[in-house]
Amino acid sequence: MSVRSCREIEAALTRKDFRVVTNDHRWLWFYYKGKKTTIRTLLSHGAPDYGDQLLGLMARQLRLQRPQLNLLLDCPMSAERYAGILIAAHHLRP
């Protein structure tokens, strides 16, 4: 079972062109070429850590397989590579 802190997740995603929007919830929106996309994920206010179940849900929100999410969070995957995956899967227009 892998566990990641919310701070670690937020820091990793904001380095990859995600921006935080806080209202009642804490959303991380993906920006591509400076424009907001429909790709987003929700970070919980109450959970300090994310386990396998929440990381699986986050991967689905970000349109990734779970191993790809690990690459995105651990930094081998760049924002450009992530955008390429989304474009290839028709989740994002070039």
> 85-91, long-range: CB within 8 Å, 24+ apart, which pairs?
86/30, 86/32, 86/37, 86/39, 89/63, 91/38, 91/39, 91/63
Q: Give the CATH number, domain containing residue 84.
A: 3.30.920
CA dist., res. 52 & res. 69, Å (int): 11
Please give the residue that has the higher pLDDT: either 5 or 2: 5
How many domains would you assign to the chain?
A: 1
Tokens of residue 37, six digits: 């996309």
Tokens of residue 44, six digits: 């919980």
- Nearest 10 degrees: Cα torsion 21, 22, 28, 30: -10
| Tens digits of residue pLDDT in 33-58 | 999 999 999 998 777 899 999 999 99
Confidence of residue 18 (pLDDT cuts 50, 70, 90): very high
- Is 52 inside any structural domain? yes
- Is 13 inside any structural domain? yes
| Tens digits of residue pLDDT in 69-88 | 999 999 899 999 999 999 99
Average model confidence (pLDDT) across the chain: 93
- Tell me: pLDDT of 94 over 80: yes
- Is 69 inside any structural domain? yes
- Is 94 inside any structural domain? no
Domain that holds residue 50: 4-88
pLDDT at residue 1 in the model: 63
- Is 46 inside any structural domain? yes
